Amino acid sequence: MLVAALLVAVIAMILPGTAVAGTDDGRARADHWGVITRNTIGSPVAALRNGPFGSFGVTGTSARPPYGRGSLGIEVVGAAPGVNPSVTEKVDFGNEVDFYGKSLLSLRRAGFHVFQTGENISYGGVTNMPNIRIEIDPNLNSTSDYSSLVWLPAASPTVNSWSPFLDATTTGGWFLTGNAGTVTGCALATPCTFSALKAAFTSRDAKPTVLTVSVGKGRDFMWTGAVDGLRLNDYVYDFEPDGVKALHKR
């Protein structure tokens, strides 16, 4: 047991950016990720998978997941030709443990890579994309104790292949659900830039805290694709068939 403990310590010193599942050393951990069941509607798919590789004829770095050999595959039924508009699904794949209680205002880097397809664009346009969803306690007033903060990505610059990193702090828009959206002005109808979102809290001396972090889709348009390399500050979460790996990045 002593030898095993020393081996773990040596590995941690050699690879300081590698998360050690099950430890409590203050670093990012990768063992608390999965489908958030209470945020799931219908029978959607959010599963760790191999690939996707391609599409056919695509070569180079955009033909494979940006990290490792796998990704998070997402499939939701939504508005599409021939589909009953009342049958719309929603799914969140995320972490309800490791980010709980952290300051939302400390978030300074966020984004991911996406595998977008032409079919998804035909269902809902070029901005038919998956989202980053952060459940928070806005702490704006005594009646504002819950809201979902959602990133709406801009169009992917690539189709039928892996995108470059999509930076959520400089592209797309963010909105808050419920009363927090009304108070800050960052609502679905009027999304804010990342900097404007943070300013909406700091100008009101609010200290929002994080409840959960996830990647998901719905309820709007049908979408079938994949996400990899979710960035949150100095960690990139690499979705692999055998689990989620937290990679330390500067």
Assign residue 169 the CATH number of its domain: 2.60.120
Residue 24 falls inside a structural domain = no
Q: How many CB atoms lie within 10 A of CB 249?
A: 12
Q: What percent of the chain has pLDDT over 70?
A: 88
Residue 208 falls inside a structural domain = yes
State how far the alpha carbon of 209 is from the alpha carbons of 32, 144, 161, 213, 218, in Å: 19, 12, 35, 11, 24
Residue 16 falls inside a structural domain = no
State how far the alpha carbon of 159 is from the alpha carbons of 22, 62, 119, 155, 238, in Å: 38, 10, 10, 10, 21
Q: How many CB atoms lie within 10 A of CB 121?
A: 18
Domain that holds residue 131: 29-248
Residue 11 falls inside a structural domain = no
pLDDT at 30: 77
Residue 3 falls inside a structural domain = no
Q: Taking residues 121-144, what's their average pLDDT?
A: 94
Domains in the chain: how many in total? 1
pLDDT at 27: 55
Which residues lie closer than 8 Å to 117 by C-beta, 6 or more apart? 55, 159, 160, 224, 225
Instruction: Give the pLDDT confidence of 57-73 residue by residue, as tens digits.
Output: 999 999 999 999 999 99
Q: What percent of the chain has pLDDT over 90?
A: 81
